[in-house]
Amino acid sequence: MNRALPEMLHCLNMPGNVAGGGGSADISVLERQRARMKWQQDQNFLIGNHELNVFSAQQLHQLQGSVSNDPGFAEYVTRAVKQDPGMENGWPDVGKFGGDDHLGYGACGYGNVSGFEMNYEAIARTVSCSPTVAAAISEAAVTETKGKESILPEKLNSAVGRESSKKRKADKNQNLKVVAEEDAKEKRIKGCAEEGDSKITEQNSSSKANISNNNNRETSTDTSKENSKVTEVQKPDYIHVRARRGQATDSHSLAERVRREKISERMKYLQDLVPGCNKITGKAGMLDEIINYVQSLQRQVEFLSMKLASVNPRLDFNTENIFTKEIFPACASTYPTIEVSSEMANPAYFQFSPVQQVVSCCGLEMGITPPDMALRRTTSAPVSIPETFLDPSCFNFSYARIFLYFSKSKPLQPGTLSYKTSIAWSFNKEDQQHFPLRHLQ
């Protein structure tokens, strides 16, 4: 059964974790746990999880309603006491354990009701809020009262549903820790009893949760020996983590493992991205490489932007040159550049496309043709050019895009004309093998 393992875990952990108390406490605690387990199983057998929740809530309401109802309360308490024999055995030990806790075994009677009721109020309130918080508070209640009151918290714990062994351990650890920090808690308990405020109990529970986490770290060595898988169910918005076989199961190490895995996964991505990082292992070296790479990229961007800034005004200047010069020399200017730039120029293309280019250039650089015609001419020739760049060459695509942009937006401006010529030229440079075929399309 699912609960058997956690219980066993619990039992196994207990001996190692008993801070206060002597050897006799171990046995009594074990007995108590077993009895509690049996009791809980009975409870669960009788009532379902949800029903138990409702049942406990009802009980709480009943109790709240009948604060002064001694017989009812006594009945309930006695019933609880009967059903949990382990508790009886544990009472003297708890009394010993608890030391000078005024809410010890002797407080079975009405004198304990105030604190008990306060806890019930807290529990009742928290039951509506969230079951996990209720569990935490129930644990707090357990630690504070250390009496039969723990029955209800236990019920609540089971009512919560998936009771993780970590929770139980936390419960036990809380008990142990509370032994050490009784005085402070006594004061807090008194304060609670006086004020009847659930907030303090919640704070206590949260602080105790922290303490339990600290304790869990200590118990990690013990838990690591365990072979069971433990699901960690804390607040609903937590990431559910499953501890692997043979690994520590407390919340801290689990969270750390999740964090480490996230970091390593992202470092792997960065390794793929940053060139030359395959040989380097370790975060420090990787970070060095990443920083260097980012800096180099940023420097490159700066350099390119300077270059762009220097080239930009020249562009306008040159377009005026285009207009002033004759057509043929202007067109001829494209030839040498084509030759020069494309070392692998296809002769077939060289015959075919430059003609078109020249035509388009002429049409453009004349400046005489109306804008639409110019557009059409330019678009007729390079219509296929964008299609030619279907191969994944980013260089070409940027050119194609720029060309399209200009042809769409401002056809008549001098800047665009030069852009078009240069683009046509640069297209030639880039794509050699595709031109002869695709121009025909």
Instruction: Name residues contacting other proteins, limited to 121-150 (CB under 8 A).
Output: none
The footprint of other proteins on residues 71-130 (CB under 8 A) is none
Residue 242 within binding range of other proteins, rule CB under 8 A? no
The structure tokens listed for 133 are 């918080």
3-state secondary structure 318-332: HHHHHHHCCHHHHHH
The structure tokens listed for 332 are 């001829």
Taken in order 85, 174, 234, 251, the sign of the CA dihedral is negative
The footprint of other proteins on residues 155-174 (CB under 8 A) is none
Give the bridge partners for 231, in sequence order. Answer: 242
Residue 432 within binding range of other proteins, rule CB under 8 A? no
Cβ-in-10-Å burial (0-12, 13-18, 19+) of 298 comes to: exposed
Three-state DSSP at 210 gives helix
CB of residue 237 vs other proteins: minimum separation in angstroms? 11
The footprint of other proteins on residues 349-378 (CB under 8 A) is 375-376
Residue 440 within binding range of other proteins, rule CB under 8 A? no
Place of tokens 């006695």: 78
Residue 281 within binding range of other proteins, rule CB under 8 A? no
> Distance between CA atoms of 417 and 200, rounded to whole angstroms?
77
Alpha helices, H only, 66-107:
70-83, 85-98
Residue 294 within binding range of other proteins, rule CB under 8 A? yes
The footprint of other proteins on residues 211-240 (CB under 8 A) is 239
Residue 380 within binding range of other proteins, rule CB under 8 A? yes
Alpha helices, H only, 325-383:
327-341, 347-366, 371-380
Residue 386 within binding range of other proteins, rule CB under 8 A? yes
Compare residues 180 and 258 and give the one whose CB is closer to other proteins.
258
CB of residue 246 vs other proteins: minimum separation in angstroms? 23
The footprint of other proteins on residues 313-352 (CB under 8 A) is 313-316, 318, 321-322, 325, 329, 332-337, 340-341
Which residue among 19, 180, 184, 304 contacts other proteins (CB under 8 A)? 304
- The footprint of other proteins on this chain (CB under 8 A) covers a number of residues equal to 82
The footprint of other proteins on residues 401-420 (CB under 8 A) is 401-402, 404-405, 407-409, 415, 418-419
Compare residues 79 and 401 and give the one whose CB is closer to other proteins.
401
Please count the CA atoms within 13 angstroms of the CA of 173 that sit on its side-chain side.
Answer: 27
Minimal CA–CA distance to 144: which of 191, 110, 109? Answer: 191
CB of residue 420 vs other proteins: minimum separation in angstroms? 10
